[in-house]
């Protein structure tokens, strides 16, 4: 009888894990199947709900929408993003986190807006080298998941990321490499990118040893399609090779310019920070493995 009740509650989407959220499995794109084949610099407009974990982090004192950086929802109350988004930040308690959005100038009823309760910047973040460019934001209230709002899956070290073939970036950042700061996109952009071997990415003619083993390079040797200013902190996701969900493998971090040949986007590899994330979220005691 108890089992039956549990099954009925589960079917109704009732919370049974004590977290009182309705988010369930991470990495799913409930609306993407309606869009058929889905098709940033060189990207295309994403459809509403196409990347349901992406958030826009906004400073209301900045012109336009106030968009500063992207981020990804990893629990109903925590967003993962880049540390460098907060370098010159002030009055972070007035910033907004916009979840479930597509067009920033016209937020529909599917959008949820939160404020930042807590900002955790990696203790070894180093601005000149871009090392450990990772931060977590605790929202003032959890979000309700929906077709437009889902959690991203952070892989642990066992996922063989370099074997993943279908990878995408998304963001509201600049859509041309020039005059980046005045050219942020109103509609969320998406683009398919290839993961580039870090050895190649670190070679002469490319980044000449600047790529840390906690980074991923993604894009194209010829350039043209890339993330850019304003995409920082946002997701690099890859479809699992066997199942229909996506892994959040990277966070947009830096690059030399945008969309240049042999200067692809550089991403923080989330799997290297899996333990650090668990410790910050209070899900694991700090130990020797914490980075």
Active site residues: 84, 133, 232
The answer to whether 255 contacts ligand 4AZ (rule: CB under 6 A) is: yes
Size of the site for ligand 4AZ (CB under 6 A): 11
- The mark string for 204-243 relative to ligand 4AZ (x by CB under 6 A, - otherwise) is ----------------------xxxx-xx-----------
Tokens of 93: 């308690």
Nearer to ligand 4AZ, 190 or 226 (CB): 226
| Shortest Cβ 265–ligand 4AZ spacing (Å) | 4
Q: Given its phi and psi angles, is residue 273 left (phi above 0), alpha (psi -120 to 50 degrees) or beta?
A: alpha
Instruction: Give the nearest residue (CB) to ligand 4AZ.
Output: 255
Give the DSSP H or E segment for 115: strand 112-121
Nearer to ligand 4AZ, 43 or 265 (CB): 265
Is 95:58 a contact under the CB 8 Å cutoff? Answer: yes
Is 214:269 a contact under the CB 8 Å cutoff? Answer: yes
Nearer to ligand 4AZ, 26 or 228 (CB): 228
Rounded CA gap, 268 and 236, in Å? 9
Q: Which stretch binds ligand 4AZ (CB under 6 A): 197-205, 206-214, 243-251, 253-261?
A: 253-261
Nearer to ligand 4AZ, 151 or 258 (CB): 258
Q: What are phi and psi for residue 23, nearest 5 degrees?
A: -85, -35
The answer to whether 189 contacts ligand 4AZ (rule: CB under 6 A) is: no
Tokens of 188: 């969320």
| Shortest Cβ 33–ligand 4AZ spacing (Å) | 30
Rounded CA gap, 254 and 179, in Å? 17
Nearer to ligand 4AZ, 49 or 265 (CB): 265
Give the DSSP H or E segment for 247: strand 246-254
* Cβ neighbours for 11, distance < 8 A, ≥ 6 positions apart: none
Identify which of 154, 41, 58, 63 has the alpha carbon closest to the alpha carbon of residue 99.
58
Rounded CA gap, 225 and 188, in Å? 15
Q: Which stretch binds ligand 4AZ (CB under 6 A): 109-117, 149-157, 195-203, 249-257?
A: 249-257
> If you search the block for the tokens 């109350």, which residue do you land on?
77
Nearer to ligand 4AZ, 48 or 255 (CB): 255
Binding-site member from 81, 150, 185, 252 for ligand 4AZ (CB under 6 A): 252
The answer to whether 245 contacts ligand 4AZ (rule: CB under 6 A) is: no
Rounded CA gap, 111 and 109, in Å? 5
Binding-site member from 265, 273, 276, 279 for ligand 4AZ (CB under 6 A): 265
Residues that bind ligand 4AZ (CB under 6 A): 226-229, 231-232, 252, 254-255, 258, 265
């Amino acid at each position: 009888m108890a089992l039956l009740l549990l099954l009925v509650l589960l079917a109704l989407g009732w919370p049974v894990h004590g977290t009182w959220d309705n988010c369930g499995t991470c990495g799913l794109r409930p609306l993407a199947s309606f869009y058929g084949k889905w098709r940033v610099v060189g990207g295309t407009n994403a459809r509403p709900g196409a990347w349901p974990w992406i958030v826009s982090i906004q400073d209301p004192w900045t012109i336009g929408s106030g968009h500063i950086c992207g981020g990804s929802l990893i629990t109903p109350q925590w967003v993962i993003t880049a540390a460098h988004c907060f370098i010159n930040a002030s009055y972070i308690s007035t910033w907004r986190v916009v979840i479930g959005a597509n067009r920033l100038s016209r937020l529909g009823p599917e959008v949820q807006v939160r404020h930042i309760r807590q900002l955790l910047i990696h203790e070894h973040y180093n601005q000149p080298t871009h090392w450990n460019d990772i931060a977590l934001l605790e929202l003032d209230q959890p979000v309700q998941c929906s077709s437009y709002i889902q959690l991203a899956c952070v892989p642990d070290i066992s996922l063989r990321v370099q074997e993943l073939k279908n990878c995408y970036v998304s963001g509201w950042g600049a859509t041309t490499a020039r005059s980046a700061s005045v050219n942020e996109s109103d509609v969320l952009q998406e683009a398919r990118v290839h993961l580039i071997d870090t050895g190649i990415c670190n070679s002469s003619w490319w980044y000449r040893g600047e790529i840390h083993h906690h980074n991923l390079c993604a894009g194209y040797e010829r350039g043209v399609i890339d993330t850019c200013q304003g995409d920082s902190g946002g997701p690099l996701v890859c479809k699992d090779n066997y199942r229909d969900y996506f892994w959040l493998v990277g966070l947009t971090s830096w690059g030399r310019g945008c969309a240049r040949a042999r200067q692809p986007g550089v991403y923080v590899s989330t799997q290297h920070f899996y333990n650090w994330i668990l410790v910050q979220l209070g899900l694991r005691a700090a130990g020797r493995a914490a980075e």
